[in-house]
Amino acid sequence: MKFEVTHKSGKARTGILHTPHGDIETPVFMPVATNAAVRFVPHIFLNEIGYGMILSNTFHLLLKPGRDVIEKFGGLHSFMSWTGAILTDSGGFQVFSLAQRKITDEGVFFKSPIDGSTIFLSPELSTEFQQILGSDIAMVLDVCVDPYADPDEILRSVDRTLQWALKCKETHSREDQALFGIVQGGVSKKLREYSAKETVAIGFDGYAVGGLSVGETFEETVAMLDVVLPILPEDRPRYFMGLGTPELILEAVERGIDMFDCVYPTRVGRHGTAMTWKGKLNIKSAVHRSDTHPIDEDCDCYTCRNFSRGYLHHLFHKKEALGMTLLSIHNLHFMNQFVRKIGRTIKNDSFLEFKREFLSEVSAGASI
Ligand SMILES: [Zn+2]
C-alpha cells in the first residue's frame, strides 16, 4: 500500500491511500461492519454515499463465521461481496473489554461470548487470521487498558503491545496487505511518547492511536494527540481508532490524523438521532410528527431525497427497521460529506475557518 500526502494546511493534510481495492482519499471516515455488515445498511447505499473503505472486526469474525468459512470463501471481500477496501482491527480492543480473560506474554486466553469455550488469541494468530481475511490494512494485536489504570499497569500494557507488535511484524508476510502499529499509553504523556517512539522504531506501513475514546475527557484526548502526532512519520497514514464525533475529528485532523472509524453515526441513527450541520436532531420528538420536510433540505442522501421527518418519526414510533436503516444512511452520508468538506477546506487553506464556523453552528443549534 502506498500513501501520498497531497496537500498540507498547518499540520492538517489530505492524501491518497492506494489500496489493492481502490484509491482512498484522506481524511477518510470508515463505517464499522463489525460482523461483516454495516448494521441495517445494505452495501449499495455505502457505494452510493461514496464509501470506499470499511472496517471489520477480526475478533468477531474469528468467533463467527470462523476461520474455516472465511478460508472456504477465499477471504472477507468475497465472503461479504464487498469490492472496496477493508481495514480489520486485530481483536485487541474487543478481547480486553471481556471480563473473563488471562493475559500472558504469549497471548490472551478468553471465554467465547458465544459458547463459553476457552479461546486463545496471540499476535501470531491475529496476524495469520487477518491474512486469511485478506483485508487491505491489518492491525497489530495490542493490549488495551483503562486509561486511568495504575501507571505501572499502563507501562506493562505498552511494553507488551511493543513485544506483540514485533511478533505481528515478523509473522506478517502478505505483500498486498499493509500492517499498522498501534500507539498505547492511556492518558499519560510520558507513556504515549515512549509508545509512539518505540512503535515507530519497529517500523510499520501506518500508525494508529489506540486506547482512547473510551471515557477520557475531550482535553485529555487532544493532549495525547499533541504528544503522539509529532513523533509519527509524515509519510505514513495516521489512524485514530474508534473516533467518530465531528468535534473530535476536527481536533484530530488539525493535528495531522488521516483516518477514522466509529459506530457512532449508525448507533445514534438506530436510536433516532440524525446528525446535521446544525447539530443533532431527535426524530422521535413530537415536533416532527406532521413535518413534511426532510431531515435536511440541502442533504442529497437517499433518505432526504425521498422521505419526510413526519414519516421517519412514524417509523421510529412503530419501531420499524426501515426507520433505523434510513437514519443510518443519512448519518453515514453526513459523515462522508463532513470529512470531504474537511478535505476541501484543507486544500484551499480554509480549514480553521471551517472548524470555527461548524462548531459555532453546532453549539447554536444543538439538539433540535
Ligand atoms: Zn440526508
Q: Where are the domains of the chain?
A: 2-262, 269-365
Over 80: is that where the pLDDT of 334 sits? Answer: yes
CA atoms of 25 and 305, how far apart (whole Å): 26
Burial of 149 (0-12, 13-18, 19+ CB in 10 A): middle
358 and 250 Cβ atoms separated by less than 8 Å: yes
Question: Measured on CA atoms in the order 304, 310, 314, 316, is the torsion positive or negative?
Answer: positive
Q: What is the mean pLDDT of the chain?
A: 95
pLDDT exceeds 90 at position 309:
yes
The predicted structure's pLDDT at residue 96: 80
Specify the pLDDT at position 368: 52
HSE-up of residue 149 (Cα within 13 Å, Cβ side): 18
What per-residue confidence (pLDDT) applies to 274? 98
Confidence band of 327 (pLDDT split at 50, 70, 90): very high
**Continuous H helices in the chain:** 43-49, 58-63, 67-73, 76-80, 92-96, 123-133, 151-171, 189-202, 218-228, 246-254, 264-270, 302-306, 309-317, 321-347, 351-365
- Confidence grade of residue 98 (pLDDT, cut at 50, 70, 90): confident
Q: Which residue has the higher pLDDT, 119 or 237?
A: 237
| pLDDT (0 to 100) of residue 364 | 79
Gap from CA of 352 to ligand 1 centroid (Å):
25
- pLDDT at position 249 is 97
Instruction: Indicate which residue of 89, 136, 142, 258 is catalytic.
Output: 89
Of 147-151, 192-196, 250-254, the least confident: 147-151
- Distance from residue 222's CA to the centre of ligand 1 (Å): 30
Report how far ligand 1's centroid is from the alpha carbon of 278 (Å). 13
Average pLDDT over residues 279-297: 97
Q: Could you tell me how far CA 126 lies from the centroid of its own chain? A: 18
Q: How many CA atoms lie within 13 A of 167 on its CB side?
A: 19
Mean pLDDT of 296-301: 97
Amino acid 363: pLDDT: 82
What mean pLDDT is predicted for residues 96-113?
A: 88
- Binned at pLDDT 50, 70 and 90, residue 366 comes out as low
The answer to whether the CB of 53 falls within 8 A of the CB of 24 is yes
Residues composing the chain: 368
Work out the pLDDT band at 253, boundaries 50, 70, 90.
very high
Q: Give pLDDT, residue 5.
A: 98
Distance CA 67, CA 75 (A): 10
CATH architecture assignment, domain 2-262: Alpha-Beta Barrel (3.20)
Region 148-170: what's the mean pLDDT? 96
Give the residue among 225, 182, 184 at the shortest CA–CA distance from 206: 182
What's the gap in Å between 85 CA and the centre of ligand 1?
24
Q: Which of 177, 157, 27, 151 is nearest to 88 (CA)?
A: 177
H or E segment and range at residue 212: none
Q: Which amino acid does the sequence have at 263?
A: V
Catalytic residue among 23, 261, 298, 300: 261
Question: Looking at residues 145-157, what average pLDDT do you find?
Answer: 93
What is the rounded (10 degree) CA torsion for 67, 133, 329, 360? Answer: 120
Burial, 368: exposed, middle or buried (Cβ in 10 Å; 0-12, 13-18, 19+)? middle
Whether 97 shows a pLDDT value over 90: the answer reads: no
Is the torsion defined by CA of 217, 220, 222, 225 positive or negative?
negative
CA of 171 to the centre of ligand 1 (A): 44
For 211-221, the pLDDT digits (tens) are 888 888 999 99
pLDDT band, very low/low/confident/very high, at 367 (cuts 50, 70, 90):
low
Q: Measuring CA to CA, which residue among 267, 148, 278, 271 is closest to residue 215?
A: 148
Q: Which pTM does this prediction carry?
A: 0.97
Residue 236 has pLDDT above 70, yes or no: yes
Dist CA 11 CA 339 (whole Å): 16
Give 67-95 pLDDT, tens digit per residue.
Answer: 999 999 999 999 999 999 999 999 888 88
pLDDT on residue 94: 85
Question: Separation of 80 CA from ligand 1 center, angstroms?
Answer: 26
b/e map 297-323, b = 16+ CB within 10 Å:
eebebbbbeebbbebbbbbbeeeeeeb
Based on the residue annotation, tell me whether 261 is a catalytic residue of this protein: yes
Does residue 199 register a pLDDT over 70?
yes
pLDDT at 273: 98
**pLDDT tens for residues 338-363?**
999 999 999 999 999 999 999 999 88
